[in-house]
Chain A
Amino acid sequence: MRRTSAAGYSLLLAIVTVAIAEAALWALLVVFSYILRIGLTLDLGSASLGFQPNPPAGPIVQLFEPAAITSVLFCAGCGAIAGARAFRNWRPAP
């Protein structure tokens, strides 16, 4: 039971970490769009989230649903690989 709850909490923590990382990434992209004076549009299914400098200038970068899904999977994958590698190669300090 303790192992199950520990595994559940670890999974929850991993998901929250990826969510925070994704939020930070999107915030970073908005900041970059502001600095570079480009438009940024995130299309998620029927919803669309956009950032446009005023006055409109430069190109508009559109990111679609597969990009968002790939981004989440990439973040989780990189974290999981790094964590698993550290767990496997861990040795107690001499």
Chain B
Amino acid sequence: MDALVEELPAEAGVVLDLVVGAAVAYATVVRANRVLSSGAAYLHGVCVAVLLQAIAFVTLVLVSQQSQGSTIVDVGLFHFASVVRSDFHLLHRLSALIVRTLIDSATAEVLLLLLVATLIFAIVAPRRLRRSVL
């Protein structure tokens, strides 16, 4: 195998083929074992949860941009999050009077789009890999 790999031309396409081949081989081994398969699914679920929370954070920032005052997220008695504008914040009141820069909404939207694209990739990739293995 070593000799075969060394004889191959050092091109980007060949490297990509080798990486995809290794991924498919790993996926085949993981899918053949029930416990490994469950572990991989657990890891996948945690990754999706992290992406969803990152999307929620950026969405909160974008929504707070629409309101003039503070945005507060409460569920019953529990305070989850709040978005306080700088000029309402005691510590930064003085500096905010001098420097007042609003968030560039476009940056937040680009971040949100990137996160959604990553989430779609994370959900679709295992199915694609399963199809390619079968």
Contact = CB atoms under 8 A, between A and B. Distances in A.
Given A36-B103, A37-B103, A58-B103, A64 B79 contact: yes
Interface in A70-90: 70-71, 74-87, 90
B34 A90 contact: yes
Interface centre among B64, B80, B103 (most CB of A within 10 A): B80
A57 B86 contact: yes
Q: What class of interface size applies to chain B in its complex with A?
A: 35 or more
Contacts of B53: 25, 71, 74-75
Contacts of A76: 46
A79 B101 contact: no
A79 B47 CA distance: 8
Interface of A is mostly: helix
Contacts of B83: 59-62
Given A58-B86, A90-B37, 18 more contacts: A21-B47, A29-B57, A32-B61, A39-B92, A56-B95, A56-B99, A57-B99, A59-B83, A62-B81, A67-B80, A74-B52, A77-B49, A83-B42, A85-B41, A86-B42, A87-B35, A90-B34, A93-B32
